[in-house]
């Protein structure tokens, strides 16, 4: 009887709990992604750049940023991306330099 209960728990209850947890996490991730979409590199270019530079899961304390902003004629590929520290990225955004 106890083997049946353990099997039931492992096959039914545990996966349902994990799915519910993943659903709640993905909702908060989606909201965060929508807020930051305006200034972040496209996910495909960013992912490719992170793989090419050897930091597949990101670098602690760094963000990926455009060298030349898209609004100023920059391209949306890996050659136009760079790692910046969080402080450098904030300073770059705060300076508000426009296209030359």
Confirm if 40 and 46 have CB atoms less than 8 A apart.
yes
Domain span at 47: 39-100
Strands annotated E in 1-100: 62-66, 81-85
Which residue, 89, 91, 94, is CA-closest to 41?
A: 89
Mean pLDDT, residues 1-8 taken together = 68
Answer yes or no: pTM beyond 0.85: no
Q: Does residue 26 sit in the same domain as residue 54?
A: no
Res. 98 pLDDT band, cuts 50 70 90: confident
Q: Is pLDDT above 70 for 35?
A: no
Q: How many domains does the chain have?
A: 2
Co-location of 29 and 78 in the same domain = no
Partners of residue 65 on adjacent β-strands: 82
Same domain, 43 and 89: yes
Residue 47 sits in the same domain as residue 81? yes
Tell me, yes or no, whether 7 and 20 share the same domain. Answer: yes
Q: What is the pLDDT of residues 7-32, one digit of tens each?
A: 655 566 556 665 655 655 545 455 55
Residue of 90, 48, 100 lying closest to 69 (CA atoms)? 100
> Do 97 and 49 have their domain in common?
yes
């Amino acid at each position: 009887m106890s083997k049946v209960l353990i099997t039931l728990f492992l096959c039914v209850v545990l996966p349902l709990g994990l799915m519910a947890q993943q659903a709640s996490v993905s909702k908060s991730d989606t909201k965060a992604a929508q807020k930051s979409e305006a200034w972040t590199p496209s996910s495909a270019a960013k992912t490719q750049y992170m793989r090419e530079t050897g930091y597949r899961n990101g670098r602690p304390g760094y963000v990926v940023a455009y060298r030349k902003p898209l609004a100023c004629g920059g391209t949306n590929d890996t050659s136009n991306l760079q790692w910046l520290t969080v402080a450098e990225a904030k300073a770059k955004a705060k300076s508000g330099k426009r296209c030359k």
